[in-house]
């Protein structure tokens, strides 16, 4: 943007500006006369606001601290100052707890009590805090606020507003760092925390932390151990509502989701997708081992294991032999080797193993076709790793 010309110039020096009020302020610096003078002393100033503050200093100080020389004109300021002395007049008669707030002492005494005095008159619910009981009672109330578009109903005006936004479909809250957009301001705040890497919501029982309120609620259920979501058709129970929905689909006799390549059918779309992946070509192959997959995320995780295996110490050790690893899943697989049950048996020879992958590799030994061949000699093998080891001989 072009700079505005400085048309207002000082007659006493080189100062120039494009605003009249700034010139007026500047001219005061040349004037030795101070327009505002204190009636009690020789203090003078160019500014009316400064004079008011100064005159107050001559007034009687009404509020003084009994523990030091602090004094103030304001009662609220004195209260804040007293907190700095650490005076904790509210003391617990059971333990050494002390506080300067009456409310904090009440909250503390509840912990000693251990009883849930606030009880629901409709059901067996009980709480330590009155506020918790109020929230609970809302669940018993009649849901008079209804959505005019669907069957949703609630007894809280705020929840109805939030629900109506979902019908609107307009995502007004957008992230400045990525393409994320949402209908809810709170969801945007939670999303921004993910960019910052901070996990502000922490569990009071363990070290779990998250930046999503929903995740924390789900985690707290694991400490409770109570499986609130139960199946009406069998004994299945879970702490997660979504898991129950997936389970209920298994009771459905009709498998509407069918595979176009084979006779497989599923109760839900998610299971069908997982099945179709088995038909697809595995485009992601590891150059360091035989691992291959059609899932890019799993492939990245697999490559990370190779990187960490070179850096990290192998802290997970087998109690039966000298085997050690830095991956819990690898240790589990290894422990199966000590198990006498070898479910995968070869039809051609006496070979048996606990591992499906090892069994597939063994079957290749019966195949006369050598998949991997050396470009420098007649050597051939069914194993990519063996070919790499062979190439080292030519390089040496």
Helix (H, G, I), strand (E, B) or coil at 290: coil
Give the pairing of strands 284-285 and 292-293.
Answer: antiparallel
**Lookup: tokens for 161:** 């507003």
Rounded Cα distance between 336 and 318, Å, is 11
Class of domain 92-140: alpha beta
The more confident residue out of 103 and 396 is 103
- Residue 300 to residues 284, 288, 292, Cα–Cα distance (Å): 9, 13, 11
Look at the alpha carbons of 26, 29, 35, 38 in this order and tell me if their dihedral is positive or negative: positive
Q: What is the pLDDT of residues 339-376, one digit of tens each?
A: 656 777 887 777 887 777 777 777 777 766 676 788 88
CATH architecture of structural domain 229-278: 2-Layer Sandwich (3.30)
Question: What is the pTM assigned to this prediction?
Answer: 0.19
Does domain 8-58 match CATH 1.10.8.60?
no
pLDDT at 1: 52
Instruction: Give pLDDT tens digits for 246-276.
Output: 777 777 666 777 887 777 888 777 778 878 7
Q: Does residue 301 or residue 172 have the better pLDDT? A: 301
Share of the chain above pLDDT 90, in %: 0
Q: What is the per-residue pLDDT for 9?
A: 84
- Whole-angstrom distance, CA of residue 133 vs CA of residue 122: 11
List the one residue out of 345, 344, 347, 324 whose CA is nearest residue 334.
324
Q: What is the mean pLDDT of residues 307-328?
A: 70
- Residue closest to 244 by CA, chosen among 273, 276, 221, 265: 221
pLDDT of residue 284: 78
What pLDDT does 244 receive?
82
For the stretch 67-101, pLDDT in tens is: 777 877 777 778 777 777 766 777 877 667 777 77
**Token reading at 394:** 């030519």
What is the residue whose two structure tokens read 């004994």? 235
User: Binning pLDDT at 50, 70 and 90, where does residue 132 land?
Assistant: confident
Q: How far apart are CA 130 and CA 113, in angstroms?
A: 15
CB 38 within 8 A of CB 55: yes
The answer on pLDDT for 391 being more than 80 is yes
State whether CATH 3.40.50 applies to domain 353-396. Answer: no
> What local confidence, expressed as pLDDT, does residue 264 receive?
80
The residue-averaged pLDDT of 33-51 equals: 70
Q: Are the beta carbons of 346 and 360 closer than 8 angstroms?
A: no
Alpha helix segments (H runs only) across the chain: 20-30, 48-58, 75-84, 102-113, 130-140, 157-168, 185-196, 213-224, 241-250, 269-279, 296-311, 328-337, 356-366, 384-395
Exposure pattern of 132-155 as b/e (b: 16+ CB <10 Å)? ebeebeeeeeeeebeeeeeebebe
Within a 13 Å sphere around the CA of 224, how many CA atoms are in the beta-carbon half? 12
User: Rounded distance, CA 37 to CA 81, Å?
Assistant: 32
Domain map (residue ranges) of the chain: 8-58, 92-140, 229-278, 353-396
Q: CA 353, CA 331: separation in Å to the nearest integer?
A: 16
CA angle 352, 355, 361 (to 5 degrees): 75
Q: Which of 175-184, 211-220, 334-343 is least confident?
A: 334-343
Same CATH topology for 92-140 and 229-278: the answer is yes
How do residues 101-129 score in pLDDT, each as one tens digit? 777 787 777 766 667 777 887 777 887 77
Q: What is the 3-state secondary structure (H, E, C) of 136-197?
A: HHHHHCCCCEECCCCCCEECCHHHHHHHHHHHHCCCCEECCCCCCEECCHHHHHHHHHHHHC
Higher pLDDT: 251 or 231? It is: 231
């Amino acid at each position: 943007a072009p700079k505005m010309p400085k048309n207002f110039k000082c007659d006493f020096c080189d100062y120039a500006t494009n605003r009249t009020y700034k010139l007026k302020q500047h001219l005061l610096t040349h004037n030795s006369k101070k327009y505002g003078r204190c009636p009690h002393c020789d203090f003078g100033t160019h500014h009316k606001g400064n004079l008011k503050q100064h005159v107050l200093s001559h007034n009687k100080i009404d509020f003084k601290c009994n523990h030091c020389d602090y004094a103030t004109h304001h009662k609220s300021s004195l209260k804040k100052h007293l907190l700095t002395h650490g005076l904790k007049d509210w003391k617990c008669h059971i333990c050494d707890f002390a506080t300067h707030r009456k409310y904090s002492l009440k909250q503390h005494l509840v912990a000693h009590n251990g009883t849930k005095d606030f009880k629901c008159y409709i059901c067996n619910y009980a709480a330590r805090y009155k506020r918790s009981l109020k929230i609970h009672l809302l669940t018993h109330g009649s849901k008079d606020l209804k959505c005019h578009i669907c069957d949703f109903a609630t007894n809280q005006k705020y929840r109805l507003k939030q629900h109506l936004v979902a019908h609107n479909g307009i995502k007004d809250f957008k992230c400045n760092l990525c393409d994320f957009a949402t209908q809810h301001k709170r969801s945007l705040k939670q999303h921004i925390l993910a960019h910052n890497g901070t996990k502000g919501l922490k569990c009071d029982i363990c070290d779990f932390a998250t930046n999503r309120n929903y995740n924390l609620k789900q985690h707290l259920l694991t400490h409770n151990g109570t499986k609130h979501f139960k199946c009406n058709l069998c004994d299945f129970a879970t702490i997660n509502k979504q898991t129950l929905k997936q389970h209920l689909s298994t009771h459905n006799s009709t498998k509407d989701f069918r595979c176009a390549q084979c006779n497989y059918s599923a109760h839900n779309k998610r299971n069908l997708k997982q099945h179709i992946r088995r038909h697809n070509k595995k485009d992601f192959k590891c150059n360091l081992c035989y691992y291959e997959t059609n899932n890019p995320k799993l492939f990245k995780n697999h490559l990370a294991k190779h990187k960490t295996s070179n850096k990290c110490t192998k802290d997970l050790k087998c109690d039966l032999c000298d085997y050690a690893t830095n991956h819990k899943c690898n240790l589990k697989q290894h422990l199966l080797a000590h198990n006498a049950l070898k479910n995968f048996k070869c039809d051609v020879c006496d070979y048996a193993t606990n591992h499906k992958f090892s069994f597939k590799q063994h079957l290749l030994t019966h195949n006369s076709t050598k998949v991997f061949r050396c470009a420098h000699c007649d050597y051939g093998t069914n194993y990519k790793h063996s070919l790499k080891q062979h190439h080292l001989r030519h390089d040496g």
